[in-house]
Chain A
Amino acid sequence: MTPLLALLFLLVAATGTGVALSRNPKRQVLAMSANGMALALLFMALQAPDVAFAEIAVGTAAIPLLFLAVLASIRMDHGPHGTPKE
């Protein structure tokens, strides 16, 4: 194992621990995004660029966005039938 790989494994472990330890959902989403980026770098270093592309696009952009949209929707002032009110 090269020093670069060892470093990236540590980075993945550190960012993953960050996800598990964040208590605020919004921070947790960003921590998950950082974890996705660390994983993408690891995949790239392990010579799997196609998996890295998918991880960057899905893990660091798409899924955090969906979580943020859900969190925003939950925090909005909702009417009696679950739809946002004026």
Chain B
Amino acid sequence: MSAATPRGMSPRMRLVLFALAVLAVLPGVVHVAGHMPQFGAHPLPYGDAINAAAPPERHVTNMTSAVNFDYRGFDTLGEEFMLLCAVTGVTVLLRGGRGEGTAGRPGRTGHRPVLPRTDAVVLTARAGAGVLLLFGFYVALHAMTTPGGGFQGGVILASGMLLVFLGDGYAAWRRVVRSEAMDACEGLGATLFALCGFAGVLLGLPFGQNILPLGTIGDLFAGGLMLVENAGVTMAVGGGFLVVFIEFLEETRVVPGADER
């Protein structure tokens, strides 16, 4: 990278640089690899502590939910609003010049025809959508008892709705997934989570204090306030992903009059 070669370097020079970098980094890599814990071992005490504390204290059997919605609920509030900001940013960037009309028709690449879907695709997508939606509700609803929860459930619900687009096409997709409703779902979900957290603060307790009765351990509706927070996360994640899907798929449409701003 001397002054004689201002525009990039030759492949030979790159290889030399690569070899030097490998020589510099290799001892560190070997050292770290030699001192890693055994595969499958978990030397940190946090997991064991949660496994011991959460069932008697919070009456739930899914420790991930106990950590996300209760022990570390304040972090999740931050994550919730990161998601909200990201979705809002995507929407502002993409929806801006296009508006909210649904009258667009499929865009074309060159002279390639837009083929209709075959019956097999429609049938598979319809059947799959039902199963996926049911599974998404199941995962979201069982957040306190089995692995999964609001985030996973919300994402599965969103991808289930996406099958409407795959099977029945754009018009049906926009009829079923209303943009306004999904915007509201996303925002209200995040609001619900924040309200749950601040409910304790209003009563003079710490943020996110579990103020509802905890219920019986192993029961579907155990966990108290975590259930409401989980519902909020499900709404925010499902709505947020669908808003992003809508905005990205709109990019492949020809919108009449989109240039007249």
For A81, give the chain B residue with the smallest CB separation.
B259
Asked if B258 and A54 sit within 8 Å, CB to CB, the answer is no
**A66 adjacent to B244 (CB under 8 Å):** yes
Q: Is there contact, CB below 8 Å, between A57 and B152?
A: yes
Residues of B within 8 A of A57 (CB): 152, 155-156, 158-159
Taken together as a complex, chains A and B put the C-alpha atoms of A84 and B158 apart, in Å, by 27
Task: Return chain B residues, CB-CB under 8 Å to A65.
Answer: 162, 245, 248
Flag if B107 contacts A83 (CB, 8 Å): no
- Chain B residues within an 8 Å CB radius of A50: 64, 147-149, 152
Decide if A72 touches B152 in the complex (CB within 8 Å). no
Give the shortest distance, in Å, between B221 (CB) and chain A (any CB).
Answer: 20
Judge whether B126 is part of the interface by a CB distance below 8 angstroms: no
Q: Given A49-B148, A73-B251 in contact, is the A61-B107 Cβ separation under 8 Å?
A: no
Query: Given contacts A77-B108, A79-B259, are A72 and B252 in contact (CB under 8 A)?
Result: yes
Task: For the complex formed, measure the closest distance between the CB of B167 and the CB atoms of chain A, giving whole angstroms.
Answer: 14
A76-B107, A76-B108, A79-B259 known; A53-B252 Cβ under 8 A:
no
Q: Which residues of B contact A86 (CB under 8 A)?
A: 254
Asked if residues A83 and B252 are in contact (CB atoms below 8 Å), the reply is no
Tell me if B110 counts as interface (CB < 8 A to partner A).
Answer: yes
A contact residues around B252 at 8 Å (CB): 69, 72-73, 76
For the residues of A in contact with B, the DSSP-based class is helix
For residue B86, CB closer than 8 A to chain A, the reply is no
Chain B residues in 8 Å Cβ range of A1: 39-40
Q: A50-B147, A62-B158 are in contact. Are A73 and B152 (CB under 8 A)?
A: no
The answer to whether A75 and B255 have CB atoms under 8 Å apart is: no
Q: Which of A53, A70, A73 contacts B148 (CB 8 A)?
A: A53
Q: With a CB–CB cut-off of 8 A, which chain B residues contact A72?
A: 107, 109, 251-252
Is B69 positioned at the interface, with any CB of A under 8 Å from its CB? no
Contact residues in B for A83 (Cβ distance below 8 Å)? 97-98, 255, 258-259
CB-based contact A66/B248 at 8 Å: yes
Given A76-B107, A81-B259, A84-B107, residue A69 in contact with residue B97 (CB < 8 A): no
- By the criterion CB–CB under 8 Å, are B253 and A53 in contact? no
Give the A-binding residues of B (Cβ under 8 A). Answer: 39-40, 64, 97-98, 107-110, 139, 147-149, 151-152, 155-156, 158-159, 162, 241, 244-245, 248-249, 251-255, 258-259
A-B contact sample (14 more), CB < 8 A, given A58-B155, A83-B98: A1-B40, A53-B152, A54-B151, A57-B155, A61-B162, A66-B245, A69-B248, A70-B248, A72-B252, A73-B251, A76-B109, A77-B110, A79-B259, A82-B97
Where the two chains meet, the residues of A that have a C-beta atom closer than 8 Å to any C-beta of B are 1, 48-50, 53-54, 57-58, 61-62, 65-66, 69-70, 72-73, 75-77, 79, 81-86
